[in-house]
Structure 1
C-alpha cells in the first residue's frame, strides 16, 4: 500500500537501519506533499479538536446542573437535542475534512487501484463498527444519555463491544483513514491521526467519568 522512497527501501539489513533517521526522512517526504497552513486544513483541525471537547463539556455541564433537562422538561428530549447538535457538528467536520483533502496534492504511491480498494475496505470495516455500535447502544446510549441520568440496565457486551472498546470512535477513525487512502491524500491521513489523538484524549476523560456515574447508581441501589 505504501511505497518508501528508494533511499529507504534499499536497506539490506534491518539491524543496520538507524530508525530515528528513517522515521524523520519518511515524515519529511510525507509532509512535503502538503501545506499545513492551508486554511481548509486548519479549519478541519479545529473541528476535529472542537467536537469531542464540545460534547464532553456540555454533557458534564448537564450532568452537574441538569440545565438542558429543565429547559426541555425531559432528559430524553434534552439528549435528543444534544445528539442532533453533535450530528450536525460531525457533518460539518466531515465536510471540512473533504475540503482539506481537495485543497492538497495527492500522494502518488497511494494513487492506484490497490490503494483505492484498500481504502474502501477500511471504510467498510469502519462503517460496520459505527453502525453496529449505534444499533447496540441506540440513539440515547450513543449520544451520552448516561450524562442525562438515562442509564442502561447492564453493560453492553455484544458485537462490536465484544471485540473492541469504543467501537464508535475507532470505527469513525477507520472510516476517515480509508477515505484518505482512497483519495491518496496525505492531508487526510494526517487529519485522521489528529482525529485518533483527539478521540484518545476524549476516551481518557469519558471512560472514568462514565464508570463513576454507574458506580453511583450501584451505590444508591444498595
Structure 2
C-alpha cells in the first residue's frame, strides 16, 4: 500500500533467518491467554492478511493492464479510487482489531500505568512516522502511485526516511502495539505480531517490484 521509491532490502534478511534460534516462548505465552477460535479474532486476522494482499494484487494488475486508468480515464482518478478502498479496508481492520481486544481478557502484568504510558508513547511515535511519511510522499506517492505510472522525480530521503525504511508500515505497527499495551491486551499483542509479519512479507514483494519500476524509468530516460 504505502510505496516509496527507495531501496528496500527486506527479503535478504528474511530469507537468511535461522528460525531454529528464534525464541517462540513469548508467542506461546500470549497464545495461552488468547482464544484464537473467537470469531472476531479470526476476522481480524483475515483483514490483517487480506489488506496488503489486496492492494498489492490490484496495484500489480493495474501496472500490467492499466485497466483502472482506462476505466476512470485518468491515472490520478484511478489511484484516488483505489486509495479510498484501501482506507476503508484499513478502517475496518482497525475496528476489528479494537473489538478483538475488547472481546478478550486483559493481561494483569500489563494492566498498569507504566505499560499504559509506554503504549501511549508508541502510539505517538507511530503517528509521527505515519504522518511525516505521508507528507514526504504525498497522497499519490503514499497510495501506490508508482503502479499507475505516476512516478516521483527522485528518491525520498528526508525525515522519516532518513532514519527508517518503510516508516508508514512500521509506524502503523507501532500504533497497533501501543494500542495493545494501553488496553493490556494479549490478543492485541498477538495481532500486532501478525501485522508485523504480514507487512514484512508484503515488503518482500513490493520492494523489488518498485525498484524495477524505477530502473525501467532510468533506462528510458538515458
TM-score, normalization: structure 1? 0.88
Aligned to 1:192: 192
Q: In the aligned structure 1, how far is the partner of 2:195 from the partner of 2:24?
A: 22
Residue by residue over 1:106-143, the C-alpha shift from the partner in whole angstroms, topping out at 9 and shown as x without a partner, is: 00000011110000000000000000000000110000
Root-mean-square deviation (CA, aligned residues, Å) is 1.2
Q: In the aligned structure 1, how far is the partner of 2:51 from the partner of 2:145?
A: 17
Q: Which runs of 5+ in 2 are unaligned?
A: 1-19
Aligned to 2:151: 151
Q: 1:31: Cα distance to partner?
A: 2.0
The structure with the largest alpha-carbon Rg is 1
Aligned counterparts, 1:96-135, within 5 A: 96-135=96-135
Aligned to 1:82: 82
Give the secondary structure class of the aligned counterpart of 1:152.
Answer: coil
Q: 2:173, 2:192 within 8 Å by CA — same for their partners in 1? A: yes
Aligned to 1:47: 47
Q: 1:27: Cα distance to partner?
A: 4.3
Q: 2:108, 2:184 within 8 Å by CA — same for their partners in 1? A: yes
Residues 153 and 35 of structure 1, relative CA distance in 2, 3 Å threshold: same
Aligned counterparts, 1:3-18, within 5 A: none
Give the secondary structure class of the aligned counterpart of 1:109.
Answer: helix
Q: Which runs of 5+ in 1 are unaligned?
A: 1-19
Aligned to 1:220: 220
Q: 2:30, 2:190 within 8 Å by CA — same for their partners in 1? A: no
Q: In the aligned structure 2, how far is the partner of 1:177 from the partner of 1:82?
A: 27
> Matched residue pairs, number?
201
Q: In the aligned structure 1, how far is the partner of 2:131 from the partner of 2:24?
A: 37
Give the secondary structure class of the aligned counterpart of 2:151.
Answer: coil
Aligned to 1:162: 162
Q: In the aligned structure 2, how far is the partner of 1:125 from the partner of 1:211?
A: 28
TM-score, normalization: structure 2? 0.88
Q: 1:33: Cα distance to partner?
A: 1.5
Residue 208, structure 1, aligned to residue 208, structure 2: yes
Structure with greater contact order relative to length (CA < 8 Å, sep ≥ 6): 2
Q: 2:27, 2:190 within 8 Å by CA — same for their partners in 1? A: no
Give the secondary structure class of the aligned counterpart of 2:161.
Answer: coil
